[in-house]
Each structure stands twice: as structure tokens, then as C-alpha cells.
């Protein structure tokens, strides 16, 4: 297997000559600065010196840009987003006190802010020294920028200015408070005590460095070190962290078995238990995960936390290395838009679940309940009939966060991608002698990991069609069509009987639990036709004070409902008449011993021995993106 890591190994032994930037031409075009010779500076080097100021929660950053000739203008910029987090963020707002000097003469150069995330330096005849401060305690930017706490810091290159179009090496010298320890994930070259060289800016951006008063445990998994670096602690940590590390090691071992080897030299989970951090961001050989406060005292939250980490670890293969087109050529300024996130995220969601079942954290029954509920929740929203998973993926910069109207014009490509992965796995296991998605996806990884352009949807379809005639066509229908998911058929073929029920509803959606504030309104439902709107606050039901239980009761009946709401300063009244929808009500085991054995080997649970007629409970459903509750 030729992974990107193999190539990184070549790149971490760079030539030591620092070439100048005399051949870099920066021209002003449509008000912005554009590097017309992007490949010209590939062998140059950027040198950063980063001092951590924990009490101020700031960084003092000094940057030397090697230049051997006069350039009229030099544009420095930050990216607008970071890979894995598809949203444009105001990274440059936290930068201040910028100074630029000609390194040889010490003469000050003019530096001014220009555009959204950039600065321009004018004058100078050689190398340029730049210094500035960056405020680094923004909780909402911590996942993408890191954070400087008084006890620890997590740093990546997000706030480090670079010349526009920079493609060369980056060297960073970290200056820490004297009592702090330091942890650096693999993927860069350790040059000296506190100095590291990164093969390029994207790798710097993709390598969170952790320092401070850290709690570190580790496991050796098939010859590779897996570090668990905790920046804080929570109740039960002392009793639970070793057990947690064991669970992560089991997950890592499963992935190693699937792909044959690890694609990194070592791997680091950077964990926080602060309720302020809802993190889950994958990197090349590490991940940032915010796991909440209660995982060591609540077995359900423990399993959930392992699953968060399992998700991010799977990304070390799927999306950090195996990439859909055009994510092999990242545009940090304008965004990179791909239709392939149904694989990158959907398959990752599938494997996060499957692997945690195999690791004994969830039961087979919970897994079946999860896939059924993912389908039920997708079917509840009108967008499932309107939007295919490719469009949903292309729109990720627009739809990743919750917003009013989302249920009508966007689906979650994680959720549908997971169900597509389930159907593929079921087909391979049912219709071949010994194939599975485990084998197929590992082979797909090996075929496309080094592809220059990344893989396309048609590459996936053709690959699967070659694997099993007819499978490519099935996947094409599910991927390119709307509403088409074969989960029920897959479950029946696996040995389950599906039962359905009629259910009254009015079309109001709530985020995680029914409350007085409406989260969303299905536009093809009684509520959607009534005039009621997202964010309306319900005050009365049929003249009585609002309660969540009361709303559930009235919407379950077939009688007209009067809802009084507060919208801004207005009190409005709407009449709704519940309608009937049909949804999956039961999944019952009607399978043979051979079918039970297939599920045992698929999900790695030897104890799954269902009696004929066993009704599978459908009460388990968890979604990192929140559970949308329909009434
Ligand atoms: Zn993900």
C-alpha cells in the first residue's frame, strides 16, 4: 500500500538549502494578490517562532520570509477554512500589532490589512521579518485554530500568516512556559529541541501540537503507538482513563486489521472533557475530540465518546488520505467543494458504529435500531424526497450547521451515506462467497489513495460494479436518486421482518427534545401549510398553557389543534389538523441459524443468538448532529 505517509517520509528529509523567492511574481488582480508561479517556491522555507503567553491567552508570532530580490508587494494571508470543518471562519480578526521590517537593514515596511483574511507589505529589498500578536482564546474557533489556556495550549498553523500561494516547507520553533511539557504528533521532522519542520503549510495546519500540564496515556497497537493526550480531567478520570485507552486500542486494532497497516508513524487523540468544547475534527495523524464531562461515570456516554474517537480515527484513512476529487487540491481561500462526502463522512459514520459494535461497546440490537432510526429520521424530512446525497455534499459549506428551513432543502450526507454503506456491505455479504465492505473499501483505498485527482462518484460505482455485478447500479440509484434507500430489503434478506404503523403528526421539528420553541417546520405538512414558523414560541395549546407532553398528546390524535405562539412581539394563533404518516414500527427476527451466523461474523459478536420471533427494540438512536424530534 502506497499511502501519503510513505510520501511524507520522503518529504521529512528536506534539502537544507533555503532558496529565495526571487522567482515568485505577485501581481494585483481584481483587487487581490495572486501568486502567478505557485510551484516556484516549492523548495523555499517559512520560519516561524511562536511564543505562548498563557495568562494573556495570546501568541507572539515572528515570521521570516526569505526573499532574494525586491518585490513591490508581498501579500500574507490566512486560510478561510480548515479541511474537515467546512465553514468560513474569521481567523484574521484575532491578529493585531503587525510589524514588518526588511531583515537585513531593519527598515520598517508598510503593512496593512486588505480583504477578508490578508495583509499586504510594500517595499523592502530582501527577506522580510514580520511579527504580530494573536489572541488565541476563542472558544468557537478552538476546534479549528487551537486554544491558549492558562494551563495548556493546542496549536496548529491556522493563525500563522503565510505568503499567498505558499507551497514550501514551514519550520516552527515553539517557546513554551518553563514548566510545560510538549507533545507532537507524527508527520513532521524534529529539527532541534523545540523546532519542527513541516513538509508544507497544509501539514502544519493538519498537525495540532499540544503543550502544558498534560495527562498522557498510550497503548501500543500492532507496533504503533496510540497516544491519548488529555488537556484537562473530569469526574471519574482516574478510574476510567485506562479503560478508555483500552477501548480506543481495540478500535485501532480493528482498523489495522481491515486496512492491513496504519498509515501513520504514531497517532494522537487530543481530548478535552470541557463542556465548552463540542470538538470532533480529524487530522493527518491525530484528532481533536471534545468528549463532555460524564463519560467516565455513564456507560452510554463512554460508548458515545469512544465512537466519536472511532469516527475521527477512521478519517486517518478516509478523507485525510483517501480523498474525493477535488480535495486533493485544497483551496484554503475560496473553499473546496466535493460531491464525495457521502463516502468520506457516510462510510466513516458506518464504520464508527460497526467498529464499536465489534469492540463490544454496542449490541447488535442497538446497531439495528440505529440504522432503522437513521432511515426513519431521514424519511421524516421533505428534503429526503428532493435532494440527493451528491448535492448535499457539494453544499457542505452551506448546510453543515442547523438553520431554519434545513429540513426542506438539505439532507445529512453523513446519515444517508451510512445507510448506503450498510446496503453495500449487506449485498457483498449476501451475494458473494466471502466479500464484504471491509475488504472492498480497503482495496478501494489502496487503489485510489495515491490518485492525483482523488476519486469520483463514478469511480466508486464502477469499482463496486466490478466487485459484484449489479451493485454499482444499486449504489448509483441510492447516490444519484432521492428517497432511494434499500435498508428494509437488506434487513429482510438478512433475516428480519419489518412491521409498519400509522402515526399522526403535524410537521413540527424539535432539536433533541420537544420544547416550546419550534426548531423547524416541514413545508409539506399540516404545520407547513398553517403559517407557523421556525423559532415561534408556543404559549398555548387549545387554550391551555404549553407543555411538551401536551403537544405530543394532541398531535397523536386526529383532532384539530389550536396553537398560540409568540413571534417576536406578536401573539399569533394557528389551526393544525394532524395527518397520518407511515413509519417502521418493528423489526422481528425471522432468520435461520445461518443468517444469525452471518450477522455474528459481520458484527463480531459471538453472543448474538436471537430466538425466532425476537422483537428488536428500536429505542436506540444517537446522532452527533443532534436528534430531530417530529411531532
Ligand atoms: Zn467526520
CA of 38 to the centre of ligand 1 (A): 30
Q: Give the span between the Cα atoms of 88 and 110, in whole angstroms.
A: 28
Q: What is the pLDDT of residue 4?
A: 30
CA of 168 to the centre of ligand 1 (A): 28
Residue 381, all three cell numbers: 424530512
Residue with cell 511539557: 181
CA of 312 to the centre of ligand 1 (A): 6
CA of 282 to the centre of ligand 1 (A): 7
Cβ atoms within 10 Å of 541's Cβ, excluding its own: 18
Quick check: 69 pLDDT over 50? yes
Sign of CA dihedral 492, 497, 498, 500: positive
Q: Give the span between the Cα atoms of 548 and 510, in whole angstroms.
A: 10
Query: Which parts of 138-223 are beta strand (E)?
Result: 146-148, 152-155, 162-163, 169-175, 181-183, 189-192, 195-198, 209-212, 215-221
Quick check: 3 pLDDT over 70? no
| Average pLDDT over all residues of the chain | 91
What angle is formed at CA 479 by the lines to CA 476 and CA 485, rounded to 5 degrees? 100
CA of 418 to the centre of ligand 1 (A): 12
Q: What is the pLDDT of residue 34?
A: 30
CA of 69 to the centre of ligand 1 (A): 44
Residue 485 to residues 70, 372, 595, Cα–Cα distance (Å): 61, 11, 22
Give me the DSSP letters along 296-348.
TT-HHHHHHHHHHHHHHHHTTTBTTTB-BTTTTS--TTT----STHHHHTHHH
Residue 115, all three cell numbers: 480583504
Percent share of the chain, pLDDT over 70: 93
Quick check: 166 pLDDT over 90? no
Q: Give the span between the Cα atoms of 552 and 365, in whole angstroms.
A: 27
Burial of 369 (0-12, 13-18, 19+ CB in 10 A): buried
CA of 323 to the centre of ligand 1 (A): 13
Quick check: 193 pLDDT over 50? yes
Cβ atoms within 10 Å of 507's Cβ, excluding its own: 27
Give 598-607 pLDDT, tens digit per residue: 999 999 999 9
Contact, 124 vs 185, CB < 8 A? Answer: no
Residue 536, all three cell numbers: 415561534
CA of 424 to the centre of ligand 1 (A): 20
Q: What is the pLDDT of residue 362?
A: 96
Quick check: 23 pLDDT over 50? no
Give 465-493 pLDDT, tens digit per residue: 999 999 999 999 999 999 889 999 999 99
CA of 349 to the centre of ligand 1 (A): 7
Least confident of 55-69, 365-379, 530-544, 608-622: 55-69
Closest C-alpha to 101, from 140, 62, 149: 62
CA of 513 to the centre of ligand 1 (A): 24
> Before 561, cis peptide (omega within 30)?
no
Q: What is the pTM of this model?
A: 0.91
CA of 314 to the centre of ligand 1 (A): 9
Q: What is the pLDDT of residue 400?
A: 85
CA of 296 to the centre of ligand 1 (A): 23
Residues near 314 by Cβ (< 8 Å), separated by ≥ 6? 255, 348, 351, 352, 355
Q: What is the pLDDT of residue 14?
A: 27
| Structural domains in the chain, sorted by start | 4-209 (2.60.40.3650), 215-314 (1.10.390.10), 341-500+582-630 (1.10.390.10), 507-577 (2.30.42.10)
Residues near 263 by Cβ (< 8 Å), separated by ≥ 6? 1, 3, 4, 5, 316, 317, 321
Contact, 170 vs 46, CB < 8 A? Answer: yes
Give 300-340 pLDDT, tens digit per residue: 999 999 999 999 999 999 999 999 999 999 999 999 999 99
Residue 32: enclosing H or E segment and its boundaries? strand 32-35
- Reported as a pLDDT band with limits 50, 70 and 90, residue 70 is low
CA of 429 to the centre of ligand 1 (A): 25
Residue with cell 527577506: 127
Q: Give the span between the Cα atoms of 130 and 22, in whole angstroms.
A: 18
Residue with cell 464499536: 356
CA of 280 to the centre of ligand 1 (A): 7
What angle is formed at CA 349 by the lines to CA 348 and CA 351, rounded to 5 degrees? 65
CA of 231 to the centre of ligand 1 (A): 22
Q: What is the pLDDT of residue 30?
A: 27
Least confident of 18-27, 131-140, 182-191, 240-249: 18-27
Residue 118, all three cell numbers: 490578508
Question: Measured in Å, how far apart are the chain's first and last C-alpha atoms?
Answer: 50
Pairing state of beta strands 118-122 and 108-114?
antiparallel
Q: Give the span between the Cα atoms of 290 and 271, in whole angstroms.
A: 6
Give 220-253 pLDDT, tens digit per residue: 999 999 999 999 999 999 999 999 999 999 999 9
Residue 202: enclosing H or E segment and its boundaries? helix 201-205
Contact, 542 vs 558, CB < 8 A? Answer: no
Q: What is the pLDDT of residue 366?
A: 97
Quick check: 22 pLDDT over 80? no
Q: What is the pLDDT of residue 402?
A: 87
Q: Give the span between the Cα atoms of 504 and 10, in whole angstroms.
A: 62
CA of 319 to the centre of ligand 1 (A): 9
Contact, 64 vs 77, CB < 8 A? Answer: no
Query: Span 68-92, mean pLDDT?
Result: 90
Q: Give the span between the Cα atoms of 77 and 33, in whole angstroms.
A: 10
Residue 436 to residues 307, 460, 566, Cα–Cα distance (Å): 22, 15, 53
CA of 350 to the centre of ligand 1 (A): 11
Q: Give the span between the Cα atoms of 199 and 168, in whole angstroms.
A: 7
Residue 60: enclosing H or E segment and its boundaries? strand 58-65
Quick check: 17 pLDDT over 70? no
Amino acid at each position: 500500500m502506497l499511502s501519503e505517509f510513505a510520501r511524507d517520509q520522503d518529504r521529512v528529509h528536506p534539502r537544507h538549502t533555503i532558496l529565495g523567492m526571487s522567482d515568485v511574481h505577485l501581481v494585483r488582480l481584481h483587487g487581490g494578490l495572486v501568486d502567478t508561479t505557485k510551484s516556484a517556491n516549492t523548495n523555499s522555507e517559512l520560519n516561524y517562532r511562536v511564543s505562548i503567553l498563557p495568562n494573556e491567552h495570546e501568541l507572539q508570532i515572528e515570521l521570516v520570509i526569505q526573499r532574494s530580490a525586491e518585490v513591490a508587494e508581498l501579500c500574507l494571508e490566512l486560510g478561510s477554512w480548515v479541511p474537515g470543518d467546512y465553514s468560513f471562519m474569521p481567523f484574521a480578526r484575532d491578529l493585531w500589532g503587525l510589524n514588518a521590517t526588511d531583515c537585513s537593514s531593519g527598515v520598517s515596511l508598510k503593512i496593512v490589512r486588505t480583504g477578508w483574511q490578508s495583509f499586504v507589505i510594500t517595499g523592502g529589498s530582501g527577506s522580510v521579518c514580520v511579527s504580530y500578536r494573536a489572541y488565541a482564546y476563542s472558544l468557537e474557533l478552538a476546534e479549528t485554530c487551537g486554544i491558549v489556556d492558562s494551563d495548556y495550549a493546542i496549536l496548529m498553523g491556522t493563525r500563522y500568516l503565510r505568503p499567498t500561494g505558499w507551497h514550501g516547507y514551514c519550520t516552527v520553533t515553539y517557546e513554551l512556559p518553563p514548566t510545560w511539557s510538549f507533545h507532537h504528533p507524527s508527520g513532521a521532522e524534529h529539527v532541534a529541541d523545540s523546532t519542527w519542520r513541516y513538509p508544507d503549510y497544509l501539514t502544519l495546519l493538519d498537525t495540532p501540537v499540544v503543550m502544558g500540564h498534560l495527562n498522557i496515556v498510550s497503548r501500543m497497537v500492532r507496533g504503533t503507538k496510540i497516544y491519548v493526550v488529555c488537556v484537562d480531567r473530569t469526574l471519574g478520570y482516574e478510574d476510567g482513563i485506562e479503560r478508555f485507552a483500552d477501548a480506543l486500542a481495540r478500535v485501532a486494532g480493528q482498523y489495522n486489521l481491515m486496512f492491513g497497516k496504519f498509515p501513520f508513524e504514531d497517532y494522537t487523540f487530543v481530548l478535552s472533557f470541557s463542556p465548552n468544547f463540542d470538538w470532533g475534527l480529524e487530522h493527518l495523524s491525530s484528532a481533536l475530540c471534545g468528549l463532555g464531562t460524564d463519560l467516565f461515570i455513564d456507560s452510554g456516554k463512554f460508548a458515545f465518546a469512544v465512537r466519536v474517537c472511532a469516527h475521527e480515527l477512521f478519517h486517518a484513512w478516509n478523507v485525510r488520505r483517501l480523498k474525493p476529487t477535488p480535495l486533493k487540491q485544497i483551496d484554503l481561500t475560496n473553499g473546496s467543494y466535493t460531491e464525495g462526502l457521502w463516502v468520506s463522512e457516510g462510510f466513516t459514520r458506518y464504520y464508527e458504529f460497526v467498529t464499536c459494535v465489534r469492540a463490544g461497546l454496542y449490541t447488535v440490537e442497538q446497531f439495528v435500531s440505529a440504522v432503522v432510526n437513521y432511515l426513519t429520521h431521514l424519511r421524516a424530512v421533505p428534503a429526503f424526497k428532493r435532494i440527493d446525497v451528491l448535492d448535499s455534499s457539494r453544499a457542505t459549506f452551506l448546510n453543515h450547521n442547523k438553520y431554519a428551513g434545513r429540513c426542506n432543502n438539505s439532507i445529512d450526507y453523513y446519515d444517508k451515506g451510512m445507510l448506503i454503506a450498510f446496503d453495500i456491505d449487506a449485498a457483498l455479504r449476501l451475494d458473494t462467497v466471502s466479500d464484504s465492505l471491509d475488504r472492498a473499501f480497503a482495496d478501494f483505498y489502496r487503489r485510489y489513495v495515491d490518485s492525483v485527482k482523488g476519486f469520483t462518484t463514478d469511480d466508486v460505482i464502477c469499482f463496486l460494479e466490478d466487485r459484484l455485478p449489479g451493485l454499482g447500479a444499486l449504489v448509483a440509484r441510492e447516490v444519484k436518486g432521492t428517497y432511494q434507500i434499500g435498508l428494509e430489503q437488506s434487513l429482510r434478506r438478512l433475516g428480519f421482518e419489518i412491521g409498519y404503523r400509522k402515526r399522526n403528526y403535524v410537521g413540527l421539528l424539535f432539536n433533541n427534545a420537544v420544547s416550546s420553541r419550534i426548531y423547524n417546520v416541514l413545508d409539506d405538512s399540516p404545520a407547513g401549510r398553517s403559517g407557523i414558523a421556525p423559532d415561534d414560541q408556543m404559549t398555548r395549546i387549545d387554550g391551555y398553557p404549553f407543555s411538551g407532553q401536551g403537544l405530543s398528546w394532541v398531535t397523536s390524535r386526529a383532532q384539530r389543534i389550536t396553537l398560540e405562539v409568540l413571534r417576536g412581539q406578536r401573539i399569533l394563533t394557528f389551526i393544525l389538523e394532524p395527518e397520518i404518516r407511515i413509519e417502521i414500527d418493528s423489526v422481528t427476527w425471522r432468520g435461520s441459524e445461518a443468517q444469525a451466523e452471518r450477522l455474528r461474523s459481520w458484527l463480531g459478536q459471538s453472543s448474538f443468538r436471537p430466538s425466532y420471533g425476537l422483537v428488536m427494540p428500536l429505542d436506540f438512536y444517537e446522532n452527533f448532529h443532534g436528534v430531530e424530534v417530529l411531532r
